[in-house]
Amino acid sequence: AQSVTQPDIHITVSEGASLELRCNYSYGATPYLFWYVQSPGQGLQLLLKYFSGDTLVQGIKGFEAEFKRSQSSFNLRKPSVHWSDAAEYFCAVGAPFSGNTPLVFGKGTRLSVIA
């Protein structure tokens, strides 16, 4: 069965510091991979997605993620965190060759940003 593991429940970083959120997946093939962000009272917003091709993908708000097949990982990074990045981040997988199937989400990583 497909599963997504986000090992870090909560991360605190200083504003301006770099950020890496970890995501590992279990899937029979290379799935489609997504990172979503959820702010309090808001719906999930897609940050970036990987379907195929270049393993380093760029997203919105200065985020990027790197797909590593050998490690079954899709870690999210940002070089300099802003206070407005404080939110819950979810990694998700979808069936390959179909971006329209239900997604399987990790449990999320809550990001706190301190001055």
Interface positions with another protein (CB under 8 A): 4, 9, 34, 36, 41-46, 49, 51, 90, 92, 97-100, 102-108
Is residue 58 within 8 Å of 19, Cβ to Cβ? no
Reference 69, options 27, 115, 12; nearest CA is: 27
Least separation, in Å, of the C-beta of 57 and another protein?
12
Least separation, in Å, of the C-beta of 77 and another protein?
20
Least separation, in Å, of the C-beta of 46 and another protein?
6
Q: Which C-beta is closer to another protein: that of 47 or that of 113?
A: 47
**Separation of alpha carbons 115 and 99, rounded Å:** 38
Reference 69, options 48, 52, 90, 46; nearest CA is: 52
